Chain A
């Protein structure tokens, strides 16, 4: 089961990418204004994410569909 967290972008440098499913800061998904980043992990919550709100898949999908995370670029 995957668990999702949102962190502030200035916290990305403290992420241990060995403990999350993403591999680098370059390929993280950021909010439209760049102020937040998405992390996800399986199993035990990484210590550096303690205190952060944890989201299920359906919860994070709803969040990511908002204007805060999905830009309205021409398509």
Chain B
């Protein structure tokens, strides 16, 4: 009986075309195609255990997650999805990618003025922003999504498109920026970390393409890609949507323990806790 070589996402073996390995941290099968590793997600037993039990609580002082690299750095369109719960009135980051050595470029999804915001800054100082219309700091869980089609932003709260207030809304996305260094959850990190999120964040995912409104509705309803059922406000398995990163905030390979939040897509964009985000059995 043959076995597949065990490895981890950070200690992959030397690539030989056709070589197959099993990542014990992500539970994914990876295959070397001669140029790069290709990942095949686990059957869902680890990626989706059938329930969403944990979220991460950020205390709003200095808690964050840091990928140490840029997630989807080349994307000229894309989607960011998360579930959040907050009562804070502060300007707070949900997901941010920035030049952490300074303030030259960034793109982040945030809560601003109690509403959802997507904003990007180009190296010449031009800022592109779209603000939503629904107050989301009411202490209830909300599903929030920011999309760039490549030419315009759109925002969704709880499955519905937001009425936008725009400033230079041209859909600028990470692939349009230079000098980006790292993606964070729960903080906007430029020359220093700031805009800390106060509350709970769960089931964060990123795509390098624009999801359509039907797909976003399905994510909000816990339905698979292309399905027509589901229940409002129910996170579920995102693998059928092919995310480029999916952090389950306690329900992934981390199993609500330790300081690494594993990317449960096939791309190994694992996040490291900075300070002390806490696992909580508080979920949408």
Contacts and interface: CB of A to CB of B under 8 A. Distances in A.
Contacts of A49: none
Size band of the interface chain B makes with A: 20 to 34
B62 A61 contact: no
Interface string B113-151: 000000101000101000000000000000000000000
A61 B91 contact: no
Nearest to A74: B103
B60 interface: yes
Interface string A12-34: 00000000011100011110000
Given A22-B62, A40-B61, A60-B61, A73 B193 contact: no
A40 B59 CA distance: 11
A22 B103 contact: no
B59 A75 contact: no
B274 interface: yes
Contact of A38 (B62, B119, B192): B62
B152 interface: no
Nearest to B188: A75
B61 A64 contact: yes
B61 A75 contact: no
Contacts of A71: 194
B276 interface: yes
A38 B61 contact: yes
Given A29-B62, A38-B61, A60-B61, A23 B275 contact: yes
B248 interface: no
Nearest to B125: A74
B275 A4 contact: no
B194 A70 contact: yes
Interface string A62-75: 00110000110111
A37 B194 CA distance: 14
A2 interface: yes
Contact of A75 (B88, B90, B91): B91
B190 interface: yes
14 contacts: A21-B276, A22-B62, A22-B275, A27-B274, A29-B61, A29-B62, A29-B192, A29-B193, A29-B275, A30-B192, A40-B276, A64-B61, A73-B103, A73-B190
Interface of A: 2, 4, 21-23, 27-30, 38, 40, 57, 60-61, 64-65, 70-71, 73-75
Interface of B: 59-62, 88, 90-91, 103, 119, 121, 125, 127, 190, 192-194, 198, 274-276
Given A4-B61, A74-B127, 11 more contacts: A27-B193, A29-B61, A29-B62, A29-B193, A38-B62, A40-B59, A57-B60, A60-B61, A61-B61, A65-B90, A74-B103
